[in-house]
Structure 1
Amino acid sequence: MVKFSLDPQLAADSQAISRLGLCELRLVNDSRWPWILLVPQRPAIVELFDLTPLDQTLLTFETAMAAEALKAASGAAKVNIAAIGNVVSQFHLHLVARNVDDENWPKPIWGHGSAVAWETGPRQAFVQRLLEAL
């Protein structure tokens, strides 16, 4: 049996916040956008369809729950959800809070500028709001 392990790039670019039923919830270390990841804790998953139908259902539920909490915690106008996987093939979902006055609105965030690491105080405050909203 293959054991789950988090891709090293995801581990380096984000920090664990909480464990939901299926997914680990992680905060991406880029303060330009409130940006979280959902990573199903299943080994060898590359595509959504690699998950069992039950896990697909659970992922849908957890995505909606996390997106609603992200919107509440950030006050965002819009939450973008994407599963790209071109750089990191391990299946994961990006949930990004967007506002009309953010750095690259309305264009995608990928490939725009360089990440700005969270400072400790604002990161802790955001994580607390997110967890409360969950």
Structure 2
Amino acid sequence: MFKLHEVLARDCAVVGDLPLCRVLLMNDSQYPWLILVPRREEVREVCDLNEGDQQLYLKESNITCAVLQNEFAAEKLNVAALGNMVPQLHIHHIARFTTDVAWPKPVWGLHPAQPYATDALNERVSQLRAAYAKSASALVVA
């Protein structure tokens, strides 16, 4: 049975579920930052997914990239699966801008997270849910 790693549960807000992945918003207002977590047990790497799930992940990643581009006009998208601190497979999708606080460096460890205010977090989650709905993806709000 799928269980979200406690670090992801602590640091993120749930946007909803796609057919394969749970969509999370990193609670760091410095960047539009989504994380896809395949709802599969004991999976650490994309190559650990079966072929069908790999194809579904790619589709959901492409939808997520389109949401970030359409909603935030990202200059660059960073997509990465590190997993050095959280072993559960989770893939970061971050909209980057030449004006963001970490540009051009990676976002990890450079600046402390700046959590959203409660109202801003709720608004951002609502915005993202609507964006996924526009993309004709089957997002289920958890």
If the length of structure 2 is used for normalisation, what is the TM-score? 0.88
SS at match of 1:15: strand
Q: Give the equivalent residue in structure 1 for 2:15.
A: 17
Q: Which of 69, 72, 84 matches 2:70?
A: 72
- Deviation of 1:132 (Å): 2.1
Where structure 1 has 5 or more consecutive residues not aligned to the other structure, the ranges are none
Percent identity between matched residues is 39
Q: Give the equivalent residue in structure 1 for 2:131.
A: 133
Q: Give the equivalent residue in structure 2 for 1:108.
A: 106
The count of corresponding residues between Structure 1 and Structure 2 is 132
Map Cα deviations across residues 46-80 of structure 1 (whole Å, 9 max, x no partner): 11111000000000000000111022122221111
Map Cα deviations across residues 81-127 of structure 1 (whole Å, 9 max, x no partner): 00000000100100111111000111100111101001123223322
Is 1:4 paired with 2:9?
no
Where structure 2 has 5 or more consecutive residues not aligned to the other structure, the ranges are 133-142
Q: Give the equivalent residue in structure 2 for 1:42.
A: 40
Q: Give the equivalent residue in structure 2 for 1:118.
A: 116
The answer to whether the Cα contact below 8 Å between 2:102 and 2:111 also exists between their aligned partners in 1 is: no
The answer to whether the Cα contact below 8 Å between 1:81 and 1:95 also exists between their aligned partners in 2 is: yes
The answer to whether the Cα contact below 8 Å between 2:76 and 2:96 also exists between their aligned partners in 1 is: yes
- 49-58 or 114-123: bigger deviation: 114-123
Is 1:31 paired with 2:29?
yes
If the length of structure 1 is used for normalisation, what is the TM-score? 0.93
Runs of 4+ in structure 1 deviating by more than 6 angstroms, as ranges, are: none
SS at match of 1:24: strand
Map Cα deviations across residues 9-34 of structure 1 (whole Å, 9 max, x no partner): 11111011111010000011111111
- C-alpha RMSD over aligned residues: 1.1
Greater relative contact order, per chain length (Cα 8 Å cut-off, separation 6+)? 2
Q: Give the equivalent residue in structure 2 for 1:99.
A: 97
Q: Which amino acid aligns with 1:92?
A: H
The answer to whether the Cα contact below 8 Å between 1:73 and 1:126 also exists between their aligned partners in 2 is: no
User: Structure 1 residues 26, 39: closer, same or farther in 2, change over 3 A?
Assistant: same
